[in-house]
Structure 1
C-alpha cells in the first residue's frame, strides 16, 4: 500500500548535528520511494516547502509577530489547519518527539542519554523532555532506534512490547571514503596538517564523550609518539565543557593537541581521510556515526567498549576502557605503531562501513511506514 508522509525537520540547520544529518538524508530519499504517495515537511508549527533552505544561514522561517490579543486565536487556527493537513498522513518525528497532529505516527529515539546522563544536558533540554517525552511516546504507534543495543534499552526502559520497536542503522555519507594524499593535501594545509601526520577525534566536547580521559591518555604517550601524531579534536563545545577546554589548552601549549572546533562540512571528510588514527572514547551512544565515518574513510579506529559501539563497529575497531588511563594509553600507542593491526583494522573497517548506507536506512524506514499504516 502507498502512504502519505509528514517528516518533521526541526533538526535541520546550517551546522548539522547527527540527528540533523539523519533527518536530511531521509528528507532527500523517502519521497522517491514508490511506496510513498507524497511527503510534507513540518517544523515547529510551520509547513516547509523546501527543507534544503534550512541548511543555509537565514533559511529558517520566522513567524510574523502578532498582537497578544490575537495570539491565542492564531494558535487555535493554526492547530485546526495542521490537523486538517495531517489527515491521511503518517507523521514521522525523527528527533524524539511527536506533536499532537502526529498521533499514531512513528518516532525515532536515538538514545536515552537525557535519562542516564542528565548532568550532560542543559537544564532547558531536561525540562522539555520532562514535559513532552511521555506524551510523545503515548501518541506513538512505533519507535525506531539506530541500533539493536538501543532498541533493547528502549524496550526495557519504556516497558514496551518488542514488536513496537525496530532498529534501523544509520550510515556514513559517500563523501567519507578512501582518498589519495594529493586529493586531501590542499585542505589539510589550511589546518597546518599533513596526511598520516595526526590522530583525530570528532565529537561534541562534553563529559560523556570522555574527552578528558582521552587527553590524559594522550599525555601519557611517549613524547616521540605525541610529536609524530598530535591529536586533533573537532566538534562543538557541549554542556560542561569549560574544564575540558582547559585541559586542551594545556596540551596545546605543549604541542600535542589542537582543538579545531567546528570545521566546514566540505572539509570534514578530508580531515578523516588524512588521519592516521580515529579515536572515539564516548561511553554512551545510540549509534556512533563518527566511527563509521572514520572506517568508511579507511582510518584505523579505536572506540570505547561501551553501549552500542562494539555492535556498530562490528569487530573492526579496537575496544578500550577509557577510565583505565594507563591501559588506554598503551592501546593508543599500539593503534598508532602496530602496522599489522592497522592494516587489518583498515580492511575490516571498510567492510563494516560498506554494509551501512543511507539508501538502506531510507528503504527500511519506508517499509516500516507501510507496516504501521497498514495496521
Structure 2
C-alpha cells in the first residue's frame, strides 16, 4: 500500500500540529515498515528538529521543483499541485495530517483528513474574523471531500458533527500520543541539576502551554493564591509557555496579589528540559476551558506526575480517572483540587496507580494500528 501525507507541519511546526504529524509518520513507519510512504511538503525549516526529520525521511520526501520552488508559489504548490502529484504516483491513501486536503485528488486515492479541533467556532471571540472564515472554509471542505475523517477526541468528533453536519459513520476517533521525549528514562542526576539551575528548592506546581486567555493562566494565579492560604508550607507556581499579549494581564495579576516571590513565568525553557520539570513538580495544572485534546495532561501522566485540569470532556478523555478536574473559572474549586495534591502524598501516589494501562491507548503501537485499520478498510 502506498500512503501519502500532506506533511507541511511535520517539517515546519514544532508544537502541537507538528508533533502530531511527526508522531503519526514515525509510528506508522516503525510499525508497518513494508508499506510505501510519501511526504509532501512545500519547504523544510532550518531548525535542527526539521533537519533531523528530513534526514530520517529524505528518500520519501517530495518538495517543489522548478518554478514551484519560488516563495509565492510554494503555497499554491501545497494546495493545487500536491493532489496531482499524488495521483501521478498512484497512491492508495492520501492523509491530510492538519485539517486540510489539497485539490486534485481523484477517486482512485482514499482521502483521509485529521481534524484537531474546531475551537475557532466554539470560541470565536478568541480568533480574528478573517481567520475564522478561512479556517471554516478549509476545514469544512476537507471534511466534505474526505472519505474518512480522523478526530483526535470524542469532543472533536461531536464538534465536527455539530458545526459541519457530517455523517458520524465516517468520523473515527484516534487519539494523539506524546512526543517520545516523555517516554525516555529520566536521570535523577539531570533532574537534580535542573532543579538547582532554576532555583527550585521548594515544592512547585507546573503549568505548560500557550499563555492565552482560553487556557486561564490568570485564573490559575488567583486559585494559587487560595492554595497558599490553605497550606502550611512554601510553594511555587511555574508558568511555562510562549510570551503573548495576554501574559501582561497575568503579570499584573501576580503583582496585584503580591505573588512575585511565589509565581514565575518562563518563556524560553528548552523543549528537552520539560519532561524533567514535569517530573520534579508536585503536580501539573492545565486549567484550559476548552481543547480538542489535552496533550499537557498526557505529558504529565507519562512521566508519573499528577495533574489538575479543566473539566471539559477532551481533558477527561486524556486524563481518565487518573487526573483531578475543576472548573477553571471557579477558583475555590481549582484551589481545592490543587491542595489535595500539595498536602497528601499518599493520595497523590494513589491517584496514579494503574495509569500505565490508561496510557496504552495513546501509544504509538495503538495509534498506528488504528490508522492502518482505517487505511485498509474497504
Q: TM-score, normalised by structure 2?
A: 0.82
How big is each residue's C-alpha offset from its partner over 1:238-282, in whole Å with a ceiling of 9 and x where there is no partner? 575542343356668621111112422211111111111111111
- Correspondent of 1:22 among 20, 39, 46: 20
Give 3-state SS (helix, strand or coil) of 2:175's partner.
coil
CA shift for structure 1 position 77: 9.7
CA distance in 2, matches of 1:226, 1:216: 18
Q: Name the Cα RMSD after superposition.
A: 3.6
Whether the aligned pair in 2 keeps the contact of 1:106 and 1:144 (CA below 8 Å) is yes
Give 3-state SS (helix, strand or coil) of 1:270's partner.
helix
Whether the aligned pair in 2 keeps the contact of 1:102 and 1:139 (CA below 8 Å) is no
How big is each residue's C-alpha offset from its partner over 1:124-175, in whole Å with a ceiling of 9 and x where there is no partner? 5324214422222221111111122322332333222222010111223443
Provide the aligned length of Structure 1 versus Structure 2. 362
CA distance in 2, matches of 1:238, 1:101: 38
Give 3-state SS (helix, strand or coil) of 2:272's partner.
coil
Q: Which residue of 1 aligns with 2:218?
A: 212
CA distance in 2, matches of 1:239, 1:123: 19
Q: Which residue of 2 aligns with 1:94?
A: 97
Q: Which residue of 1 aligns with 2:153?
A: 147
CA distance in 2, matches of 1:119, 1:231: 28
Q: Which residue of 1 aligns with 2:29?
A: 31
Whether the aligned pair in 2 keeps the contact of 1:169 and 1:356 (CA below 8 Å) is yes
Structure (1/2) with the larger helix percentage: 2
The unaligned stretches of length 5 or more in structure 2 are: 55-62
CA distance in 2, matches of 1:79, 1:181: 47
Q: Which residue of 2 aligns with 1:185?
A: 192
The unaligned stretches of length 5 or more in structure 1 are: none
Whether the aligned pair in 2 keeps the contact of 1:121 and 1:239 (CA below 8 Å) is no
After TM superposition, the structure 1 = structure 2 runs for residues 3-22 of structure 1, keeping only pairs within 5 Å, are 3-12=1-10, 16-22=14-20
Give 3-state SS (helix, strand or coil) of 2:142's partner.
helix
Give 3-state SS (helix, strand or coil) of 1:315's partner.
helix
CA shift for structure 1 position 234: 1.1
CA shift for structure 1 position 35: 8.1
CA distance in 1, matches of 2:7, 2:77: 22
Q: Mark the CA change 1:263 to 1:75 in structure 2 (over 3 Å): closer, same or farther.
A: closer
Q: Mark the CA change 1:353 to 1:77 in structure 2 (over 3 Å): closer, same or farther.
A: closer
